[in-house]
Chain A
Amino acid sequence: MRFKVPFINDEKDAKANSHLDAHDESHGSAEGHSDHATSEGYSLDEGMAHYMDAGHLFGHVQDSYYIELPRFLTGGSAVDEHGQLVRDANGEPVKEAGKFKIPNLTGATVDSPLMPGFVGRPTKFMALELLAALIIAVAYIWLARKVSLEGKAPKGKVWNFLESIVCFIRDDIARPTIGKQDADRFMPFLLTLFFFVIVLNLIGMVPSLGAATSALAVTAVLALITFVIVMGVGMKKMGVVGFLKAQVPHMDLSPALAIILIPSIWAIEIFGLFVKHFVLAIRLFANMFAGHLVLAVFLGFIGVTWASWMVWAVGPVVVLVAVALSLLELFVACLQAYVFTFLAALFIGAAQHPH
């Protein structure tokens, strides 16, 4: 039995410049090299194997120009690059892989001439960030109106739920790390950070969507903002020189030792300052990326065994494992949002009260 699994290269125009299409291209390039492949699609074993491609798996986790949907939702017939219908071994037209393209509002497909390295084309993660921002804004502007205008005791599940998170961040994150007097000043940043991360993480648990926090670009920017705030807080409090000096704890050293030790400790501390913010970005990114990748691998087992009887053995197990992993991911989504916020608060607190 030969079953042709089509691969639709619907982003050929962007292929030349965008790494976002690496997933698509990986199959495209493989087509050319493989003895088993035809111009229309994959042979049975190729088609099964491609589910385990790192490129394919990463493609499910990383950013893209489309939202993947189940095949039956799009329903259109697949067309190859010559405009011909893709047919399986029995000559039946093959359905197109389910993809909902993010509208290319800017129309950009190549690097911007003004800003090299930037394409300026909307991606899935950008759409999800926008969605997350809208969800947070709607929920908390509504809550703020309730709390400040009505001034009554909290009432109802939604109100209590939303408010309890804010109180948790204030009482269990901001105040213990920054101190009661200064905590309120940093609450807007910590709250925005926490909700942005947790909502993006949780959106990642919705099938077909994705976790924008599994892109290093997103977590790196969040860590960078934290870094800037930490530096700003420290330098405002102690002055630029004072803050840099405060990185070395006071030690009683003989002058000879001090000349050697203090600069090297200072260098290590400054290096550590960068590293801990970099790790902040890596921690969140790696947790989200790895979690979703493991899910993709397990679900890929169904694809790999699809054409044989083994799918009946593997399928149910994979579904159970995927459910268990999804529950774990739900926990990780909340935990990592907490950890990111807590560490950011800790760094701010440390910059304010060194040693």
Chain B
Amino acid sequence: MLDSCYTRLLILAEGGHEPDPLKFDADLALFTLVIFLGLLFVLGKFAWKPLIQGLNTREENIANQIESAERANENAQANLRQYEERLALATDEAKAVLDEAKKDAVAVKDRILGEAQEEAQRIRDRALADIEAAKNAAVRDLAEKSVDSAVSLAGSIVGRSLDKQDHDKLIEDSISSFTDGA
């Protein structure tokens, strides 16, 4: 089998039909030239030019978009910082206001409480004074009545009327003894 294969190769070599991998086909070369240049022309016009332009435009757009996005981001960051500062400020203010309000409230409370206590004290004092006065009046009243009745009783018992001077002196004495005793 190998022999015949070898023989065949020899025959091929001698017969002038030696297979030639480097053979150059002019037809194919010409056709390739035409096809390639045609393809280059058609694609150059209808594919590569618009495609590359489109890609460049898109690249520019994307670059612009990224740039504007970055700018927007920076703005947003700045705004955020500003708002945060303001917020912190506002919080402080609110806290101060609240503190003051609390302080005020405490002061008001203290004042009202104090006034109320004072008022209560005053009312009590007055009540006590009234009671005292009433008591004193009652005591005096009682003493006068007691003296009068005692005098009249004594007068009736003694049978003689005390003169005016004696009378008054007696009242005074008895009152003072009452009050001293009270």
Enumerate chain A interface residues (CB-CB to B < 8 A). 19-20, 22-23, 25-26, 29-30, 33-34, 36, 45-46, 48-50, 52-55, 57-59, 62-63, 117-121, 123, 125-126, 129-130, 133, 136-137, 140-141, 143-145, 147-148, 151, 153, 163, 166-167, 170, 184, 187-189, 191-192, 196, 212, 215-218, 220-222, 224-225, 289, 293, 304
Contact = CB atoms under 8 A, between A and B. Distances in A.
A269 to B, nearest CB: 26
B38 interface: yes
A178 to B, nearest CB: 14
Contact of B39 (A33, A125, A148, A192): A192
Give the 3 A-B CB pairs with smallest separation, nearest first.
A147-B54, A148-B50, A217-B29
Contact of B8 (A30, A184, A289): A30
Interface residue tally on B, bucketed by range: 35 or more
Contact of B27 (A57, A123, A130, A212): A123
Given A188-B40, A225-B36, A55 B29 contact: no
A48 B1 contact: yes
Contacts of A187: 48, 52
A30 B29 contact: no
Given A117-B26, A147-B50, A222-B32, A189 B43 contact: no
Nearest to B22: A216
Contacts of A123: 25, 27-28
Nearest to A189: B40
Contacts of B53: 148
A142 to B, nearest CB: 9
Contacts of B159: none
B97 interface: no
B111 interface: no
B43 A136 contact: yes
B128 interface: no
Interface residue SS majority, chain A: helix
B17 interface: yes
Contacts of B51: 140, 143-144, 147-148, 166
Contacts of B52: 166, 170, 184, 187
Given A129-B31, A147-B55, A166-B51, A140 B17 contact: no
Interface in B42-61: 42-44, 46-58, 61
A146 to B, nearest CB: 8
Given A140-B47, A151-B54, A192 B25 contact: no
B23 interface: yes
Nearest to A133: B39
B47 A50 contact: no
B182 interface: no
A162 to B, nearest CB: 9
B43 A188 contact: yes
A159 to B, nearest CB: 11
Given A144-B47, A144-B49, A225-B33, 8 more contacts: A22-B19, A30-B11, A34-B4, A118-B27, A144-B48, A145-B50, A148-B57, A192-B43
B47 A143 contact: yes
Given A140-B48, A144-B50, A188-B44, A49 B24 contact: no
18 contacts: A22-B19, A25-B17, A57-B19, A62-B23, A119-B27, A121-B27, A123-B27, A147-B50, A148-B53, A151-B54, A151-B57, A151-B58, A166-B55, A188-B44, A188-B48, A217-B24, A217-B32, A222-B36
